[in-house]
């Protein structure tokens, strides 16, 4: 399994895309496998999002039926329908986002990405299987607590990984090497300090000029 970090180190600085906007403090985590806590937060965000969508679909359907038959009391559907609908929609949602973008909304917000064994986003087949595995066996994520590589049961079986990736594209993005990033930040700081010195010097000269005019008067 080639991680994104290993891919980045192997290909050096000559890659086509460089993510140079990532803070230096976060660069050491870019491409590393994500841990249990941050992955759990991302999953919870996804569940909340899908839950809101399920409720929204039911409200929309209820309003639609109410228009054609306003005297009918449809009431609330059984809880089981919400649960089944949520499971199905979660499976479809994860399948689609992992196959097309490699990350869900929750993973995007937390700076995570799902990769296959080659370091690419999962194909449709792998995304479908992984999504079903995650929906049916949610507790598989607990294995990431004891795994040295932060891999869930799903990752071990399907040979996938979830890494830190703050890029906004649909594929993993290389980051600017740490030394270059530090040098760039230092250069930016020096430019800011130089501009501040010029402004301060300008105001100082202007103030001295005003004082000299007042003294001459």
> 77 and 94, same structural domain?
yes
> 89 and 30, same structural domain?
yes
> 110 and 62, same structural domain?
yes
Res 134: pLDDT: 95
> 155 and 195, same structural domain?
no
Res 83: pLDDT: 85
> 56 and 10, same structural domain?
yes
Alpha carbons 211 and 178: distance in angstroms, whole number: 49
Cα–Cα distance list, 80 to 58, 76, 83, 189, 202 (Å): 13, 11, 5, 58, 72
Alpha carbons 2 and 161: distance in angstroms, whole number: 10
> 112 and 13, same structural domain?
yes
Which residues, 6 or more positions from 101, have their beta carbon under 8 angstroms from its beta carbon? 121, 170
Closest alpha carbon to 138 in 53, 40, 38, 49? 40
Cα–Cα distance list, 34 to 37, 40, 78, 122, 174 (Å): 9, 10, 37, 17, 17
> 184 and 172, same structural domain?
no
Name the token pair of 104. Answer: 């869900």
> 51 and 35, same structural domain?
yes
> 168 and 84, same structural domain?
yes
Alpha carbons 66 and 64: distance in angstroms, whole number: 5
Q: Is the whole-model pTM more than 0.75?
A: no
Cβ-based burial of 50 (10 A; exposed 0-12, middle 13-18, buried ≥19): buried
Count structural domains, the chain. Answer: 2
Each residue's pLDDT tens digit in the chain (217 positions)?
555 555 455 444 444 344 555 666 666 777 788 999 999 999 999 999 999 998 888 888 878 777 777 666 666 667 777 888 889 999 999 999 999 999 999 999 998 999 998 888 899 999 999 999 999 998 999 999 998 888 999 999 999 999 988 876 666 655 444 444 444 555 666 667 667 677 766 666 655 555 555 555 5
Cβ-based burial of 207 (10 A; exposed 0-12, middle 13-18, buried ≥19): exposed
Res 16: pLDDT: 38
> 195 and 90, same structural domain?
no
> 150 and 56, same structural domain?
yes
Closest alpha carbon to 32 in 22, 17, 47, 43? 22
Rg (CA), the chain: 26
> 206 and 118, same structural domain?
no
Q: Which residue has the tokens 């990736």?
A: 165
Which domain, by its residues, includes 200? Answer: 177-217
Res 9: pLDDT: 52
Q: Which residue has the tokens 């995570």?
A: 112
């Amino acid at each position: 399994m080639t991680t994104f970090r290993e891919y980045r180190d192997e290909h050096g600085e000559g890659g086509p895309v460089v993510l140079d906007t990532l803070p230096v403090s976060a660069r050491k985590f870019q491409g590393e496998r994500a841990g249990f806590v941050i992955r759990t937060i991302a999953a919870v965000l996804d569940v909340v999002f899908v839950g809101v969508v399920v409720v929204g679909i039911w409200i929309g359907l209820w309003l639609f039926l109410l228009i054609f038959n306003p005297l009918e009391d449809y009431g609330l559907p059984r809880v089981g329908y919400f649960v089944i609908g949520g499971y199905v929609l979660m499976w479809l949602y994860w399948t689609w986002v992992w196959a097309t973008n490699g990350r869900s909304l929750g993973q995007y917000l937390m700076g995570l990405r799902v990769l296959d064994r080659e370091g690419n986003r999962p194909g449709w087949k792998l995304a479908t299987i992984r999504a079903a595995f995650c929906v049916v066996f949610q507790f598989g994520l607990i294995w990431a607590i004891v795994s040295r590589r932060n891999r869930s049961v799903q990752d071990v079986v399907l040979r996938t990984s979830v890494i830190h990736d703050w890029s906004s594209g649909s594929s993993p993005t290389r980051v600017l090497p740490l030394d270059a990033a530090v040098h760039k930040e230092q250069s930016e700081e020096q430019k800011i300090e130089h501009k501040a010195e010029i402004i301060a010097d300008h105001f100082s000269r202007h103030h001295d000029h005003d004082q000299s005019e007042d003294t001459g008067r």
